[in-house]
């Protein structure tokens, strides 16, 4: 058996086209052009690539993009002052601070300063808390993308056994909360490095989500035949190749459906950032959200 490929790139193109149509309509009917500000501190090459991708995608959707680049030696006070400025800027509906920050900067107080109404990256504790109690505002972009991929692939999460390997605040924890919301109703196991007999835990799942950041962590013997495998990992090999957390060649011979790396979850992360920015623009002006 060869797994069906869940094509995140194709889905992202369709969703972005729909977002662009909605942005054009919002601008035409209400004079509103959603705005996203991305803050980059320092010159980390990977971060520069990610911010550039977000900038291009934002403009392609018809939104206003403000890209703020600060030197690596920027102080905590100056970064927090910038966040306050962006909070007060009515042309900006969404704010994200690209991580990681330089070592001398603490990301937590920066994230806490972002206006929850503009927290399109969903990292403010208020946003996370609303999700935890089942009343979310914005959904974290990468987990949001995973949900869209599952839905588009026809994977019914109601009553499904889903194992998430990885408990980060960016993916594992918010995704576990999203999957247990009313309407999705999955039974979720949040596994991690201290999980006993991880292979056995994964083999019990209808869906395995790998989100650890370790090359080849999920192997074929860890996947039940026919299960769905979502690979959130993005790792660079010594020769510069981008690979995930899943042993793709072997697992694709066992799984029923699988996301590739690249071309799976990655394109959906930026796409759902655009969706959150569009929803923020509507909500801030009292217009109905999707």
Active site residues: 54, 98, 121
Q: Which residues lie below 8 Å from residue 66, measured CB to CB, with a gap of 6+?
A: 35, 36, 37, 38, 91, 92
As a whole number of angstroms, the distance between CA 204 and CA 161 comes to 7
Closest Cα to residue 175, out of 129, 131, 135, 133? 131
Which residue's entry shows tokens 């799942």? 205
Closest by CA to 83, choosing from 142, 26, 38, 24, is 38
* Rounded CA separation 35/38 (Å): 10
Phi, psi (degrees; rounded to nearest 5) at 44:
-60, 125
250-277 per-residue burial string, b: 16 or more CB within 10 A, e: under 16: ebbebbbbbbbbebbbbbbbbbbbbbbb
Which residues fall within 8 angstroms of residue 117, CB to CB, at 6 or more apart? Answer: 280, 283, 284
Distance CA 179, CA 182 (A): 8
Q: Confirm if 213 and 185 have CB atoms less than 8 A apart.
A: no
Q: Say if CB 248 and CB 201 are below 8 A apart.
A: no
């Amino acid at each position: 058996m060869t797994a069906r490929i869940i094509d995140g790139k194709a889905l992202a193109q369709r969703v972005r086209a729909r977002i662009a149509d909605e942005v054009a309509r919002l601008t035409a009917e209400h004079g509103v052009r959603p705005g996203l500000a991305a803050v980059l501190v320092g010159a980390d090459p990977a971060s520069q690539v990610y911010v550039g991708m977000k900038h291009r995608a934002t403009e392609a959707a018809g939104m206003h993009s403000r890209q703020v680049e600060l030197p690596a030696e920027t102080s905590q006070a100056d970064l927090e002052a910038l966040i306050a400025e962006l909070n007060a800027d009515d042309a900006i509906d969404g704010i994200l601070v690209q991580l990681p920050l330089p070592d001398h900067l603490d990301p937590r107080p920066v994230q806490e300063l972002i206006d929850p109404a503009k927290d399109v990256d969903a990292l403010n504790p208020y946003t996370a808390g609303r999700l935890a109690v089942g009343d979310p505002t914005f959904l974290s972009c990468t987990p949001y993308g995973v949900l869209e991929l599952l839905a588009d692939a026809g994977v019914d999460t109601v009553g499904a056994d889903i194992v998430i390997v990885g408990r980060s605040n960016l993916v594992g924890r918010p995704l576990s909360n999203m999957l247990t919301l009313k309407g999705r109703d999955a039974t979720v196991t949040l596994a991690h490095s201290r999980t006993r007999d991880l292979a056995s835990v994964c083999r019990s799942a209808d869906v395995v989500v790998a989100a650890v950041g370790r090359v080849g962590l999920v192997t074929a013997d860890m996947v039940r035949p026919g299960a769905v495998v979502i690979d959130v990992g993005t790792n660079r090999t010594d020769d510069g190749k981008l690979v995930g957390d899943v042993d793709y060649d072997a697992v694709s011979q066992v799984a029923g459906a699988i996301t590739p790396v690249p071309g799976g979850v990655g394109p959906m992360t930026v796409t759902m950032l655009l969706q959150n920015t569009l929803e923020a623009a509507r909500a801030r002006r009292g217009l109905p959200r999707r």
